[in-house]
Structure 1
Amino acid sequence: MATYFTSDMHFGHTNIIRFCDRPFDDVGHMNARLAELWNDTVSDDDTVWVLGDVALGALDDSLTWIGRLTGHKILVPGNHDRCWVGDRALGRGTPEARAERREKARARYLAAGFAEIHDDPGRFPIAGSEAAVSHFPFSGDSHGEDRYVEHRPEDDGGWVLHGHVHDTWRQRDRQLNVGVDAWGGRPVAVDRLAALIADGPRDLEPLTWDLPAGLSRP
């Protein structure tokens, strides 16, 4: 039984292909390759922490891909997930109406195949220490100026496992981006992240996407 981290799959999101220069000619190919890479990496006995931004587009269709993925799946919602605590649609109306919308949103993701949803997972034991776990890094963004500052973890001098920045970096100082755009489309094993922490703070570029033999970028 192994533990993996990943984030920012963006199932069903056509524009992410252009935004992040993903090597696919349409969203159907992207969805299928993401699922193939996941299932080639993760066994049914493994656990995968998904640090947000699972699916966009027609959500009911996009979320069906979660049920096709192996392993015990834990979601830490990101800013594009409808069950995220900061989602504007959850913040309107009476407290009762907000709570009802929140539960309905969470139910959609659980029904799609997530076993657990952790709004604030706190810290994860890794490399003899503990790292913060969040959709967001301490600082930095894929859109220039930092967004959602109030939802970011506090930099206490330790490490953070995060998503959100897509192909901006794989590692920046003590920030480890576990997103698919940084790891060739695959979830990354906790042992690989522990090795990076053991090597200390530095900057690393994203890995190239893992494509089938003989297939080049479109």
Structure 2
Amino acid sequence: MTTYYTSDLHFGHLNIIRFCDRPFAGVGDMDAALVRLWNETVTEDDTVWVLGDVALGSLADSLANIGRLAGHKILVPGNHDRCWEGDRALRKGEPDARERRRATEHERYLAAGFAEIHDRPEPVVVGDRTVELSHFPYEGDSHGADRFVEYRLADRGGWVVHGHVHDTWRQRGRQINVGVDAWGGRPVSDATIAGLIAAGPRDLEPLGWA
């Protein structure tokens, strides 16, 4: 059994193809390739932490891809996930109404195939180091100035495994980006991340798509 990490699949999102120069003619080709690359990498006995931004567009169609992915899937929502704690729709109205909407959105993602959803997960051990998991890096963005700073973890000198920055970097210092645009479309194993941490802080460029 292996633990993997990934982020920013953006199932169903046409514009991400242009934005990140993904090598696909359309959403159908992209979604099929993401499912194939995942299932070539992950087995049913493995666990995959998905660090946000799973699907956009019509969620009825795009979230359906989650059920086609192997393994025990745990979601840490990102800013494009409807179940994210910072989603505008979940912050409107009276507290009771907000909680009902939040529960409904969580149930939608669980029904799609996620076994667990963690807004703020506990740190995990990778190799012999404890690391933080978040959709966001400590600092840096793919759109210029840092966004959503109120939802970012404080940098206390440790390592963070994250997404959000797409193909901006694969590693920057103690920040390891597991987004599919940095890893050829595939989830990243804990052994690979442990190796990066053991090599120490540095800057690494994204890998090409498989």
Q: What's the TM-score, normalizing by structure 1? A: 0.96
| Matched position secondary structure for 1:132 | strand
> Following TM superposition, where does structure 1 have runs of at least 4 consecutive aligned residues deviating by more than 3 angstroms?
none
Percent identity over the alignment is 70
Measured after TM superposition, the shift of residue 112 of structure 1 is 0.1
Partner of 1:56: 56
Q: Does 1:151 align with 2:151?
A: yes
Letter in 2 for 1:4: Y
Partner of 1:24: 24
Counterparts of 2:183 and 2:124, CA distance in 1: 20
Partner of 2:142: 142
Aligned pairs for 1:1-218 within 5 A: 1-210=1-210
| Matched position secondary structure for 1:181 | helix
Measured after TM superposition, the shift of residue 171 of structure 1 is 0.2
Alignment length, in residue pairs? 210
Letter in 1 for 2:146: D
Measured after TM superposition, the shift of residue 30 of structure 1 is 0.2
Unaligned residue ranges in structure 1 (runs of 5+): 211-218
Map Cα deviations across residues 97-147 of structure 1 (whole Å, 9 max, x no partner). 000000000000000000000010031112312111000000000000000
Over the residues paired in the alignment, what is the CA RMSD in angstroms?
0.5
CA contact (8 A) 2:127 2:190 kept: no
Counterparts of 1:99 and 1:6, CA distance in 2: 28
Counterparts of 1:29 and 1:65, CA distance in 2: 13
| Matched position secondary structure for 2:172 | strand
Map Cα deviations across residues 124-182 of structure 1 (whole Å, 9 max, x no partner). 11231211100000000000000000000110001000000000000000000000000
Letter in 2 for 1:140: G
Q: What's the TM-score, normalizing by structure 2? A: 0.99
| Matched position secondary structure for 1:197 | helix
